[in-house]
Amino acid sequence: MGDHEYAIPVRSTLVDQVYERLMELLLDGTLQSGDPISIDGTARHLGVSPTPVREALARLESTGNVIRVAMRGYRVPEMPDAKEIADIMDARLLIESQLAELACARVDVGLLNALEDAIEEQERAPHTSDAAAIRKYHRADERFHRLIAEHAGNGALLRAYDALGGHGQRFRLFVGVGVQDSAHAIAEHRELLAALRRGRGPEVYRIMHAHISGVKERALAEHAQAERTRATHTTRG
């Protein structure tokens, strides 16, 4: 892999830049399941010190997109199987629905505007299969959910939300095909934002629960399709 493949565009902080670049390498298939990720090697390729790489990898570990191996650094995990996807989504159903209802009780103009911005960023993301487009959409989707989680004002639930990880794992299924459910997700986000504007907690809980249920159903369908594609390629090979 040549140094030019790791070129970092200008973004907010060095750690953010490294994080974004590593996510793109995961999403374009450059880094695949089982691949080791060397802190020093990555730092050399990116032209940065090991410190921001270490911090970016720790952040990726918290999302489940890399795992730490004792005495051996980090590696890319295997894609989650259908049971793992279902388990993560079932936990999100419980945690994020409650977070959304709590956030509704504390809603303010700042949150509503930030959520609107996140939805508009989703809408602006190119609907193509390249890693940059997938990453742009994923970043907006992730931001929408995190804004609600952080605004709920419950530190224990926020830690549980963070511990779930897996939010970015699903997006690895979009390598080579692009985001498949953007129209559904954006419409569901807009419905949730409208309910937050109305300030009705139980309604917000119900809509978030329905949204995550839809994401679960679509994620399992995407996983099944990816498995069928992989099996076809294996047979042809």
Cβ pair 24, 168 in contact under 8 A = no
Predicted local distance difference test score (pLDDT) of residue 55: 93
Q: Which residue has the tokens 């994401």?
A: 215
User: What percentage of the chain has pLDDT greater than the value 70?
Assistant: 88
Query: Which positions ≥6 away from 210 have C-beta within 8 Å?
Result: 188
Most confident of 76-85, 143-152, 228-237: 143-152
Asked if 3-75 and 82-236 have one fold, the answer is no
What pLDDT, on the 0 to 100 scale, is given for residue 9? 42
Tokens found for residue 197: 């504007």
Q: What average pLDDT does this structure show over 81-103?
A: 94
Extract the tokens encoding 143. Answer: 């931001």
Q: Domain locations in the chain?
A: 3-75, 82-236
pLDDT digits (tens, 9 = 90+) for 6-51: 444 444 589 988 988 898 888 777 888 899 999 999 999 899 999 9
What is the pLDDT confidence band of residue 167, given thresholds at 50, 70 and 90? low
C-alpha to C-alpha distance for 42 and 18, rounded to whole angstroms: 9
Range 201-210 average pLDDT: 98
CATH 1.10.10.10 matches 3-75 = yes
Q: What is the pLDDT of residue 192?
A: 98
Cβ partners under 8 Å of residue 126, min gap 6: 132, 133, 136
pLDDT tens, position by position, 120-134: 999 999 888 887 888
Can you give the pLDDT at residue 1?
43
Whole-angstrom Cα distance, residue 92 to residue 210? Answer: 11
Residue 232 has pLDDT above 80, yes or no: no
Q: What's at 130, amino acid-wise?
A: D
> Quick one: average pLDDT of 219-223?
88
Q: Report, as an integer, the average pLDDT of 147-165.
A: 91
Give the CATH number of domain 82-236. Answer: 1.20.120.530
Residue 225 is classified by DSSP as: H
pLDDT of 166: 55
Query: What is the share, in percent, of the chain residues with pLDDT greater than 90?
Result: 51
